[in-house]
């Protein structure tokens, strides 16, 4: 073997060794990508329901105490519609309305509508993003993200309105549009992370408990 061929063989061997070492490092730091998730996560649901609550808090229907009210929600079309309609019913009851299930029995009709009930998301990263690594015949892997500075801002937006009128069709009041905002922001600087949110009270834990025995699962055993 000539000297040139020997050097070429050594170079190829060294290149393969470097590639194998890099693959080993990547594999050691990879995380598995889980594809089977619920269609909508808990954070999105909290953002939507909190935005709806904030908007409904600003709605004053002008109902006299004891009036029979029919809530017409046929024009209210949005995500989490059932929750929002339930919150609107609670708001009417708190204002003194007597809710009826039949339109013909009502003194007052409250016709509600939704202009928005959704979320927005913005993300900023100064660092190295995660990269998906295709691995044949196995689950996809993702290299770890290296964030020097990262901001993830999620905002829920609600826009509601209502028309309040007598059973004979006469207008009583226009309500809104009113707006409600919710936010769940996560910031990370050099591995130090914190959240700014209004989707849960401060005394509600946002991290899973530390692993350990669960007192609720203890059972008495006869000696």
Question: What does the domain layout of the chain look like in residue ranges?
Answer: 42-205
Tell me the whole-structure pTM to 2 decimals: 0.68
**What percentage of the chain reaches a pLDDT higher than 90?**
39
Q: How confident is the model at residue 15, as a pLDDT? A: 45
Supply 169's token pair.
């069709």
Of 148, 145, 152, 157, the closest CA to residue 114 belongs to 157
Handedness of CA 7, 12, 17, 22 (dihedral sign): positive
**Arithmetic mean of pLDDT, 100-109:** 93
Could you tell me the end-to-end alpha-carbon distance of the chain, in angstroms, rounded to an integer?
80
- Whether residue 41 contacts residue 79, with contact meaning beta carbons closer than 8 Å, is answered with no
Q: Which of 1-10, 49-58, 62-71 has the lowest mean pLDDT?
A: 1-10
Of 71, 56, 179, the closest CA to residue 116 belongs to 179
- Whether residue 113 contacts residue 172, with contact meaning beta carbons closer than 8 Å, is answered with no
Which position has the higher pLDDT, 2 or 159?
159
For 153-193, the pLDDT digits (tens) are 899 999 999 999 999 989 999 998 999 999 988 888 887 88
Is pLDDT above 60 for 215?
Answer: no
Of 184, 182, 181, 187, the closest CA to residue 124 belongs to 187
């Amino acid at each position: 073997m000539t000297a040139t061929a020997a050097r070429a063989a050594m170079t190829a061997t060294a290149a393969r060794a470097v590639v194998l070492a890099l693959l080993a490092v990547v594999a050691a730091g990879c995380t598995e990508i889980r594809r089977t998730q619920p269609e909508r996560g808990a954070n999105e649901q909290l953002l939507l329901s909190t935005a709806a609550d904030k908007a409904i808090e600003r709605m004053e229907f002008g109902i006299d105490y004891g009036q029979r009210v029919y809530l017409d929600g046929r024009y209210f079309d949005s995500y989490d519609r059932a929750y929002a309609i339930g919150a609107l019913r609670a708001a009417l009851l708190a204002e003194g309305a007597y809710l009826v299930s039949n339109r013909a029995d009502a003194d007052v009709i409250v016709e509600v509508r939704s202009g928005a009930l959704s979320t927005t998301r913005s993300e900023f990263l100064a660092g190295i993003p995660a990269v998906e690594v295709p691995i044949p015949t196995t689950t996809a892997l993702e290299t770890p993200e290296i964030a020097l500075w990262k901001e993830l801002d999620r905002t829920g937006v609600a826009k509601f309105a209502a028309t309040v009128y007598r059973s004979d069709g006469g207008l009583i009041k226009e309500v809104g549009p009113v707006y409600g905002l919710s936010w769940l922001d996560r910031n990370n600087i050099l591995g130090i992370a914190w959240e700014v949110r209004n989707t849960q009270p401060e005394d509600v834990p946002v991290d899973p408990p530390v692993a350990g025995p669960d007192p609720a699962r203890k059972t008495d055993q006869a000696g």
